[in-house]
Amino acid sequence: MAVREIGSSIPLRLIGLLVLGHVAFAGGRFTLTLQAVALQASPAAIGLVMGLLMVVPMFLAVRIGRWSDTLGFMKPASAGLAMGGAGALLAAWWPGIPVLCVASVLIGTGYMLAHVAVNNAIGQQSRPEELTRAFSWLAMGFSVSGLVGPLMCGLAIDHLGYRAAFTLAAVCSLASLYALASMRQGQAVRPRVPAGEARRSVVDLLRHPPLRAVFVVSGLLSMGWDLFSFLVPLHGARSGLSATAIGLLMGAFGVGTFVIRIFLPYLSAGPGQWRTLRWALFVTAVGYLLFPMADSFAAMLPASFALGLALGCGQPMAMNLLHVTAPAGRAGEAVGVRSTLTSASQTFLPLVFGALGAALGVGVMFWIGAVVLAGGGVYAGRHR
């Protein structure tokens, strides 16, 4: 029996608990970055810490998606939220670069377990005509969590220290786990096809042209988001901003994503999804071209908001297209493939950009990202 709100097929309880889990993830990721900076780690070491967030999901996301297709979302989501809480508590009590690396693996892997499983459940429990609306609600929730997590942890760092910030992230993760545990096991999503159907080769999904295009554009948009999460705190810290000020920059980005997501149903019905995704990539490229020239909080704040507007429309539109184009009964596996691609981006980009940043400077990394995203805009323009 599906979990549905009265009068709607949109499972708001699932959306709420996943958003709370994202507060923990966003806050934990933000605190990991600033803790590594405070420990005077090199850009390459900071890149290693951030890259480890998604190194395990890069290999397991497809299996997680198949698991949620056949068994439901409760077990993988519960395991993931527990791991996220454990990683944050580990970083809180034993600070140091090696421990931050372990905590990064736990926080990133745990969140991805919950994200893939619950995201698939939301898609299954929403009627086809309400998919855009459901993922718009989820995306707006992520916008709020993307604001609350870094801002909450930034304030905690400035006034109470890094240990308090990590502890707050752990509390949010465990609170989400409690909300999930309060749901009846019978409410887990039933598979739509026999389990054997979900075990076909993942290459079949990559050979599906419409779905492959969604994977490419979704991966590029995820890369743009990851660049912001990695480079902006680093750029802000090196510009002399406090943790609270950097948290406000992340919050301005979150506000931008929230604002644009209010209008997503109109954008889908008006310009269309592919045209909107194309312009999102182009605008993000321009933003990254100009961002290194901003050397004050007053200049970075509107730039962060504008990047939030551009990147905020990407994830919900990509998820809607993914559920529409995926073969029947394989939506969870398709979500897993997308998560593998985005996890690879989140793993290798910080490592590569951290190493290049140490050699060439942070500004050059913004400009390289701008070139890649502009190329993605050209690619997206070829699809309808």
What pLDDT is recorded for position 200? 61
What are the angstrom distances between the C-alpha of 217 and each of 123, 136, 327, 382? 20, 18, 19, 11
Question: Between the ranges 117-121, 237-241, 369-373, where is the mean pLDDT highest?
Answer: 369-373
Question: Residue range 359-381: average pLDDT?
Answer: 80
- pLDDT confidence band for 224 (50 / 70 / 90): confident
Reported as a pLDDT band with limits 50, 70 and 90, residue 95 is confident
61-96 as b/e: b if 16+ CB within 10 A: bbebbbbbbbbbbbebbbbbbbbbbbbbbbbbeebe
Residue bearing tokens 């549905």: 4
Q: What SS3 state is found at 202?
A: coil
Whether domain 12-191+200-380 has CATH 1.20.1250.20: yes
Q: Residue 4: what pLDDT?
A: 43
Q: Which H or E run includes 329? A: none
Name the pTM for this structure. Answer: 0.70
- Per-domain residue ranges for the chain? 12-191+200-380
Contact 131, 97 (CB under 8 A): no
Confidence of residue 383 (pLDDT cuts 50, 70, 90): low
